[in-house]
Every structure is written in C-alpha cells, then in structure tokens.
C-alpha cells in the first residue's frame, strides 16, 4: 500500500523527541495519526519510523523476518531478561516457540484457572469491609500469586513472592528510562537508581535459577509451565538449554505479573468511573457466581466481564510501544527503509485512532458486542501484537483477567477514595498511578 509520510515536528537538535517521549508520550502519540500513515520521529539523533495506519501496522507486524526484534526497547530488555521467546531474533524464534507452545495448550487452562481462583482467595482472604487498599498493588499481588503457581507450582519461597512486585516495579521504571535516554553513559554511573536496578535484577535472576533447580530435582512432580518447558523437545530431540530456560522463566514471570496486573487495575478504575457498567457487572457476577470465585466452567457466561477486559486493553494496552529493526533494506508504505533502521508500533495509538473507533477516548464495553466490531481492520486492535510474534499467552491472559475481575465483583466493590486522581504512567508497561480504594463487602 502507498501511504502518506511525515516527520514529527519539534525535534530538538541532539535529543530529538526525547522530551516528548519522556514527559508526555501518550499525548505525543495521539498527534501522530493526524500527521501521516507513516511518521518519522527521533530518539536522540536516531530516526524511528512509526506506522499509524492499521493496515500498515498489520503489514509491518506480519513481516517479522524483515522487521525483527531490535531497537532500543529490545536492547535494554535483553540486558535484563536475556534472549527468551519475547526478545529473541527471528532465526531463534521458531525453535523456542515450538518448545514453549505445549505449556499454553488450552487443555491445561482448567488447571491454570484453578490456580487463578485460589490466588484470588489467598489475596482477598484478609480483606475486611471498610478497609482501604491500593487497587494497583492488590492486582499485582494476585497476578504474582497466579504467576508463581502456574509457572512453578509454589516452588518460590513465600518471602520471594512478597518481594517480586517491588522488583518488577524497579525494573519496569528503570528500563524505560534507559530506553528513552539519548546517551548510554548515565546507566553506567554508580547512582542509587542504577544500584537498585542491578540489585533487583540479580535478585530476580537468583529466584529464576532456584525454581529451575527445584524442578530439576523433582522431575514429573508438577503440572506447570516450567515442567512443560523442561519436558519439551523439538523434532531433533533437543530441549531448551540451561540459559534458554532461565531466559524463558524470566520472560514468563514478567509477562504474567505486570501485564495482567496493569490491565486489571485499569479495568477497576474504568468501572469505578462508569457506575452503570459496574452495576451490570455485579449483576452478571451475582447471577453466575452467587458470591463465590469464578471457575473455568463459568467463563462462557461471564460475557460482560470479558467485554470489560477487552475494552480496558483497548484503551489502556499494557504493552503500548515496541521497537523493531530492519534486517535488510526494504520498503514500508512506499518508502525506502535502509537496513538497520529502527521502527516502532504502538497499540495505544492505533486503539484510539479516530478513523476506526467511534468516540475512541470513551469507555464502552458494548462496542465489543457481536455485530459491532467485525468491521475493524485487523491492525486496529492489537493489544497482543500480531503475526508470528503475537503473545503466546493471549487466550490465557484474557481468561485470567476475566476470572479475577468477575470474582472480585462478586464479593467486593472497590470505591476510589474521594479525590483520588489516577494518571497513566507509561514506562515499559502502561500502568495507572496508584489507585487507593475503600472495600465494600457485597
Ligand atoms: C494482558 C496481558 C498481556 C498483554 C497485553 C500482552 C501483550 C503482548 C504483546 C503486545 C506481545 C508482542 C510483543 C512484540 O510485538 O514485540 C507479547 C508477546 C509475548 N507475551 Fe504477552 N501479553 C500479556 C500477557 C502475557 C502473559 C500472561 C504471558 C506469559 C504467561 C505473556 C508472555 C509473552 C511472550 C512469551 C511473548 C513473546 C511471544 C513470541 O515472540 O513468540 N504475555 N505479549
């Protein structure tokens, strides 16, 4: 397809658009579709191409050999999480994905759903009527429990489970700062922030190593993602190497905890702002669950909860900006793209494209009713990416989020405290700032 092209205005001579990307990246992204279908901005002196038209985004994501994992996001993420499935280059991808797929086979979902329901019970067990909690922390506490159970069946020490949310917080903040920093020198200085980052990273690596050692010492005793990774073999009989295993554990951990935690935090904020949706959600939860936690078999009936989650990840996709690198000279939208060019795509930007969504900034779960969304081009809704690099856990993630949302709505109302103002915090993931709520038992 031949498309319009523009350079984003107001680049600073040395820094480019670092100020806009650092201070108000979401506002900045809103302006890009109006400029052209393909827009060039700059991070430092390096040009970055961003497709804004859904058809172009789709084409770009489907060409995963040409537009491979690279650019500042992956450079920084690899120093933290290694070369696992989400970070590896195209040439290693097929092998890794094949060995990771068995763990995400839908036949295991019922077992994972049980771990999700148990985690909701464990975290909300001490909740009492009238208590105040940070909804964002509560969601991360639940998704951390789910991650530890589904990944490694409680092989992670309780004390480590408790520190994980803080570790993820530090790593998420610091990594984004490093992605948009125009000069690499800052991250080498012995500042407190850099030391905290290095400590958090080694702690996370130690936890990953210890669960792998635990599972190796107890073969065949667990039914979780790690056991399925340990058992998986490719057609040549090869399994994952020790290094690959550690990298995959790190990827799955970070993939599981913060993404779903952020999506749920946004969902609770959005329903608190839309009481009519909250009422309807509670009615659905009452009818289907009568006050108990949701289970796997309830999912077909939790239709509104599923739509609320879909609409939440449309408006606030946790993965909001990702880079790629051109592996050879090519073209995109009729424009020449030299080898080594950096490109990026933003689910956040396309999900709010006014040309494709009516009232794109309004929260409307019913836009996902049958018959109302099928006209959307495929590249207009990409919270989980697209093409061969699409999220391996797309179905599992929506299942988890729907079970947690419905289970909480069946028993609790989370009312934001008066004056609590929530703002988006775009780091490696797009999270809401803290959301203090009062719990009302239903
Ligand atoms: C709401 C929750 C989630 C969202 C929004 C999300 C989003 C995404 C996106 C956008 C990608 C593609 C990244 C790219 O194009 O570079 C991705 C890939 C990936 N995600 Fe998720 N994710 C979620 C949950 C999860 C969970 C729960 C896990 C693990 C249990 C996970 C594991 C992965 C992995 C391993 C990949 C790499 C897939 C590959 O390249 O083959 N994600 N995710």
| Chain CA centroid to CA 60, Å | 20
Residue ID of nearest Cα to ligand 1 atom 19: 391
Mean per-residue pLDDT for 258-266? 95
State the pLDDT at residue 170: 87
For the ranges 17-21, 83-87, 221-225, 255-259, the lowest mean pLDDT is seen at 17-21
Per-residue confidence (pLDDT) for residue 356, from 0 to 100: 95
Tell me what percent of the residues of the chain surpass a pLDDT of 90.
74
Across 119-134, average pLDDT: 96
Q: Above 90 in pLDDT, residue 155? A: no
Q: Does residue 182 have a pLDDT over 60?
A: no
Joined tokens for residue 280: 């309807």
If you average pLDDT over residues 348-368, what whole number do you get?
A: 96
In which band, very low, low, confident or very high, does the pLDDT at 15 lie, cut at 50, 70 and 90? confident
In the chain, what is the greatest distance between 2 CA atoms, to the nearest angstrom?
A: 61
Asked if 85 and 96 count as a contact pair (C-beta separation under 8 A), the reply is yes
Say what the pLDDT of residue 348 is: 97
Tokens of 319: 């993965």
Residue 180 has pLDDT above 80, yes or no: no
Question: Is 174's pLDDT higher than 80?
Answer: yes
Q: pTM for the whole thing?
A: 0.94
Of all protein residues, the one whose alpha carbon is nearest to atom 37 of ligand 1 is 86
Ligand 1 pocket mutation, candidates 65, 96, 342, 393, criterion most atoms within 8 A of CB = 393
| The predicted structure's pLDDT at residue 428 | 82
Q: Which residues pair with 432 in a beta bridge?
A: 424
d(CA 343, CA 323): 6
Strand-pairing partners, residue 440, are 413
CB atoms within 10 A of CB 211: 23
354 token code pair: 């006014």
For range 324-346, the mean pLDDT? 96
> Residue whose CA is closest, atom 17 of ligand 1?
391
Give 397-424 pLDDT, tens digit per residue: 999 999 999 999 999 999 999 888 889 9
Distance 255 CA to ligand 1 centre (A): 6
Q: What is the mean pLDDT of residues 327-353?
A: 96
Q: Is 313 in the pocket of ligand 1 (CB under 6 A)?
A: yes
Rounded Cα distance between 197 and 360, Å, is: 37
Nearest CA to ligand 1 atom 20: 391
| Residue 248 · residue 86 · CB < 8 Å | no
Residue 256 Cβ < 6 Å to ligand 1: yes
Q: Would you say residue 181 has pLDDT above 80?
A: no
Averaged confidence pLDDT in the chain: 93
Q: Is the CB of 386 under 6 A from ligand 1?
A: no
Provide CB contacts within 8 A for 48, sequence distance 6+. Answer: 40, 41, 42, 71, 323, 342, 343, 344
> Which of 29-43, 63-77, 223-237 is predicted with the least confidence, judged by mean pLDDT?
63-77
Q: Across-strand partners of 324? A: 343
Specify which of 120-124, 156-160, 233-237 reaches the highest per-range mean pLDDT: 120-124
Residue 177 confidence class, pLDDT cut points 50, 70, 90: confident
Give residues with Cβ within 8 angstroms of 235, minimum separation 6. Answer: none
149-178 mean pLDDT: 87
Place of tokens 């994972």: 112
Looking at the predicted structure, is the pLDDT value of residue 196 above 70? yes
pLDDT at 183 over 70: no
Give residue 11's pLDDT. 87
| pLDDT average, residue stretch 434-440 | 94
């Amino acid at each position: 397809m031949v498309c319009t092209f523009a350079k984003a205005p107001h680049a600073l001579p040395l820094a480019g658009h670092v100020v806009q990307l650092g201070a108000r990246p979401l506002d900045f992204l809103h302006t890009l579709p109006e400029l052209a279908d393909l827009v060039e901005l700059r991070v430092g002196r390096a040009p970055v191409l961003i497709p804004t038209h859904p058809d172009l985004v789709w084409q770009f994501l489907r060409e995963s050999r040409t537009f491979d994992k690279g650019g500042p996001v992956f450079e920084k993420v690899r120093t933290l999480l290694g070369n696992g499935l989400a970070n590896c280059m195209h040439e290693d991808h097929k092998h890794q994905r094949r060995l990771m797929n068995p763990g995400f086979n839908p036949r295991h979902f019922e077992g994972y759903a049980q771990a999700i329901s148990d985690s909701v019970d464990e975290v909300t067990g001490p909740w009492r009527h009238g208590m105040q909690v940070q909804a964002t922390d509560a969601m991360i506490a639940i998704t951390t429990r789910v991650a530890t159970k589904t990944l490694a069946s409680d092989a992670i020490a309780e004390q480590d489970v408790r520190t994980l949310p803080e570790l993820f917080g530090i790593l998420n903040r610091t990594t984004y700062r490093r992605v948009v920093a125009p000069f690499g020198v800052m991250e080498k200085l012995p500042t407190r922030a850099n030391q905290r980052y290095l400590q958090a990273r080694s702690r996370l690596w130690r936890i990953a190593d210890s669960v792998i050692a635990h599972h190796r010492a107890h073969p065949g005793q667990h039914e979780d993602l790690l056991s399925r990774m340990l058992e998986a073999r490719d057609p040549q009989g090869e399994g994952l190497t020790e290094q690959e295993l550690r990298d995959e554990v790190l990827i799955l951990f970070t993939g599981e905890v913060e993404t779903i935690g952020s999506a749920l935090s946004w969902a609770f904020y959005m329903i608190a702002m839309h009481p009519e949706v909250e009422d309807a959600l509670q009615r659905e939860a009452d009818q289907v669950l009568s006050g108990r936690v949701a289970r796997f078999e309830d999912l077909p009936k939790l239709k509104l909860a599923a739509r609320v989650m879909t609409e939440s990840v449309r408006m606030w996709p946790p993965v909001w900006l990702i880079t790629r690198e051109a592996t050879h000279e090519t073209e995109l939208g009729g424009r020449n793209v030299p080898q080594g060019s950096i490109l990026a795509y933003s689910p956040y930007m396309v999900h709010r494209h006014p040309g494709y969504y009516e009232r794109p900034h309004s929260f409307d779960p019913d836009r996902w009713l049958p018959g109302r969304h099928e006209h959307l081009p495929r590249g207009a809704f990409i919270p989980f990416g697209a093409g061969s690099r699409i999220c391996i856990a797309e179905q599992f993630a929506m299942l988890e989020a729907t079970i947690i949302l419905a289970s909480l709505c069946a028993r609790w109302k989370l009312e934001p405290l008066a004056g609590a103002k929530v703002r988006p915090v775009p780091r490696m993931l797009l999270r809401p700032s803290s959301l203090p709520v009062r719990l009302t038992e239903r």
